[in-house]
Amino acid sequence: MKPNILVIDDNELRNFLGESLREFGYHVDIADGVPNAMPLMKTRNYHVIITDKNMPGMNGSKDGGFDIAGYSKEYLPNTKVIIITGDRMAEIDRRILDLGIADIVFKPFQMSTLKEKIDKLIRY
């Protein structure tokens, strides 16, 4: 069975990630931002959610990826969340621990690095 992955981003990176991950053999759904991701998260089971940190979130938040991680922690405890970001602030590290984010990928990155992280999370 192919691992199910949800990719969430509000820019075209989501399409590139989706196609690349499909080539690696994963089943991938993509969502354009938080509002479009929520129905998928409520109706499908995902092994991994990959989300951009910096996109519009719930209630005017600018850290939509953290909104996704918070929802996943509460309602999808078996789903692993990977945050993608260009930020390198210490605040990110604290939020990662608070929200139970499984891993973080800093831009720019290689697809092989992302694949390794996904495979590691799926094995455990």
- In degrees to the nearest 10, what's the CA dihedral of 32, 38, 42, 46? 50
Tens of pLDDT, residues 39-60: 999 999 999 999 999 898 887 7
* Mean of pLDDT over the chain: 91
pTM exceeds 0.75, yes or no? yes
Neighbour tally for 100: CB within 10 Å: 14
pLDDT at 3 over 70: yes
Tens of pLDDT, residues 68-115: 999 999 999 999 999 998 887 656 677 888 898 999 998 899 999 999
Tens of pLDDT, residues 8-18: 998 889 999 99
Domains of the chain: 34-109 (3.40.50.2300)
